[in-house]
């Protein structure tokens, strides 16, 4: 699904739960037979693959348990925010069952010959606060009433925008079940929210080549 460089070497690879058996077959074909050390695979040629359960899944001890939990349908909350755009949803398995998307204007830069920098900064700060308040209202309507039934809440977009929304005291129950995973997504739209479900369900594996 996606790859990104890992601190200390290697790369993180996101794998859809349904593709885990095929991924393991390909790993063995490339690197030879492997042995298990907990959730880490050590291949014949020295390559390794260390697995992390997907957001909302319980901690497990073996790869077989991880695969079983990864494919098990879970109810996930989603919160994506960037500038004035926010997308909030609930997914059951790989299906989006509730959602709301909204856009609130936040100025990105001054026009030539425009306001002073201080006046512009105040205007932009007020716009950002209004966008965060609107986003918090949406989270309050979509996720807050359903939070007890959510395995976790996966966030993404711009961290500053997400933090501003979840800083609202009334959303503390939502913030409390937030997953560590943070999705890198473009400006939230309905299509982006739908595609984010795959990233929220994916199993992450740290691969290091010999």
- The full DSSP string for 4-23 is EE-TTSSEEEEE-GGGHHHH
pLDDT of residue 69: 95
- The full DSSP string for 152-180 is EEEEEE-HHHHHHHHTSGGGHHHHHTEEE
pLDDT of residue 8: 86
Please report the domains of the chain, with CATH numbers, ordered by start residue.
2-73+202-208 (no CATH), 75-200 (3.30.420.60)
Spatial distance between the Cα atoms of 29 and 177, rounded to a whole number of angstroms? 38
pLDDT tens, N- to C-terminus, the chain (210 residues): 678 899 889 999 999 999 999 999 999 999 999 999 999 999 999 999 999 999 999 999 999 999 999 999 999 999 999 987 899 999 999 999 999 998 864 445 444 445 456 554 555 554 455 567 788 999 999 999 999 999 999 999 999 999 999 999 999 999 999 999 999 999 999 999 999 999 999 999 999 998
Cα dist. 157→32, 188, 198 in Å? 38, 8, 15
Residue 81: is it exposed, middle or buried by C-beta count within 10 angstroms (0-12/13-18/19+)?
buried
pLDDT of residue 197: 97
pLDDT of residue 133: 73
pLDDT of residue 119: 55
């Amino acid at each position: 699904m996606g790859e990104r460089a890992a601190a200390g070497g290697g790369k993180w690879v996101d794998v859809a739960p349904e593709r885990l058996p095929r991924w393991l077959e390909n790993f063995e074909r490339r690197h030879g037979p492997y042995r298990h050390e907990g959730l880490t695979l050590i291949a014949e040629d020295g390559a390794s693959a260390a697995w992390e359960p997907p957001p909302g899944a319980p901690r497990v001890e073996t790869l077989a348990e991880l695969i079983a939990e990864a494919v098990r349908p879970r109810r996930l909350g989603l919160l994506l925010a960037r500038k004035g755009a926010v997308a909030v949803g609930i997914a059951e398995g790989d299906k989006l069952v509730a959602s709301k998307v909204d856009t609130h204007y936040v100025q990105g830069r001054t026009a030539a010959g425009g306001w002073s920098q201080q006046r512009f900064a105040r205007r932009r700060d007020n716009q950002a606060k209004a966008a965060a308040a609107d986003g918090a209202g949406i989270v309050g309507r979509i996720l807050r009433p359903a939070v007890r039934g959510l395995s976790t809440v996966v966030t993404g977009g711009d961290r500053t925008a997400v933090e501003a929304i979840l800083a609202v005291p009334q959303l503390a129950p939502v913030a409390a079940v937030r997953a560590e995973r943070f999705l890198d997504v473009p400006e939230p739209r309905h299509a982006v929210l739908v595609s984010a479900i795959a990233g929220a369900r994916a199993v992450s594996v740290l691969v290091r080549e010999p």
